Amino acid sequence: MPTRNEYMFLADLAGEAERYTDVVANIKLIIDNYSAQLTIDERSLLSIAYKNITNDLRNSWRVIDSLEKLQASRSSSASARHLSLVRRQRDKIEKELMNVCKDIVSALDKQLLPAARPGEEAVFYSKMKGDYYRYLAEFAHKRDRERFGDYSLNAYKLAYKHALATLEPLHPTRLGLALNFSVFYHDVRKSPERACHLAKSAFDDAVMSVDPSEIIMDQTMRDSMTILQLLKDDLILWSTEI
């Protein structure tokens, strides 16, 4: 059996080749054969792999959804047949996307979250759970959207409560959680008011915690500054909707 480092080498190699399903497979072998308590590098690689897989599927779904609306606006026997084929393709993508999201949520519930250390690691995984339930809520059939939205909300709430208690306001994981949680309120709950309130609170807390004389512009700080800019951009955009 390959060593843990060899599985990680293979996962890294797959990531370089953009074979993200192979990345997931190798990290899962680490979890199954060694430990569900992943290193930061292992955890980051797993997160990036799932994000790339789901982003491709979400983008495909949006394209097909737009084409379906266009096809539905036409009236002819050929258009009706084409509309049926478009819907079949959309259903196929939805099924793939649902399977991927449920796969990572299952791994989080059964292995990663139970093994997570309190603090940043637990916040990171709870945020991931909120993210993938949010994706499910975005494209699921109407009857399932509210259920997935509730699951996402509960995961985000748990993550945010833990983040407020254990992480500094400028920590990139806490800021990333605030960014995604606010997107949930805007996109899933259709509430720009709550989205702006959460984003502004996180932004203000982070800015007020900064001591300019003590800033060290390392990678962590650069990550935090990038997320702060995204929060600011969203606040500007969403405030026009209120």
Show which of 49, 82, 115 is a domain's final residue: 115
Q: Is 241 helix (H, G, I), strand (E, B) or coil?
A: coil
Based on the fold, state whether residues 156 and 140 are members of the same structural domain.
yes
The mean pLDDT values, 10 residues at a time, for the chain of 242 residues are 96 97 98 96 97 96 89 74 89 94 97 96 98 94 90 98 97 97 96 97 94 76 95 96 86
CATH of the domain at 9: 1.20.190.20
Residue 69 has a pLDDT of: 85
* pTM (global) more than 0.85: yes
Based on the fold, state whether residues 109 and 8 are members of the same structural domain.
yes
Which residues are CB-contacts of 30 (< 8 A; sequence separation ≥ 6)?
4, 7, 8, 11, 38, 42
Q: Give tens-digit pLDDT for 179-204.
A: 999 999 999 999 999 999 999 999 99
Domain assignment of residue 186, given as a range: 118-242
Based on the fold, state whether residues 26 and 11 are members of the same structural domain.
yes
Based on the fold, state whether residues 99 and 136 are members of the same structural domain.
no
Q: Give tens-digit pLDDT for 130-148.
A: 999 999 999 888 889 999 9
Based on the fold, state whether residues 110 and 123 are members of the same structural domain.
no
Residue 68 has a pLDDT of: 87
> What CA–CA distance (Å, rounded) separates 209 from 106?
36
Show which of 115, 150, 174 is a domain's final residue: 115
Nearest-10 crossing angle of helices 4-16, 40-72: 40
Based on the fold, state whether residues 154 and 242 are members of the same structural domain.
yes
Based on the fold, state whether residues 22 and 126 are members of the same structural domain.
no
Based on the fold, state whether residues 105 and 168 are members of the same structural domain.
no
Tokens of 76: 């002819």
Based on the fold, state whether residues 141 and 89 are members of the same structural domain.
no
Based on the fold, state whether residues 123 and 89 are members of the same structural domain.
no
Residue 71 has a pLDDT of: 81
Based on the fold, state whether residues 242 and 123 are members of the same structural domain.
yes
Task: Please return the burial class of 4, using the count of CB atoms within 10 Å of its CB with bins 0-12, 13-18 and 19+.
Answer: middle
**Count of domains in the chain?**
2
Show which of 115, 140, 158 is a domain's final residue: 115
Residue 78 has a pLDDT of: 66
Residues 179, 231: contact at Cβ < 8 Å? Answer: yes
Based on the fold, state whether residues 94 and 139 are members of the same structural domain.
no
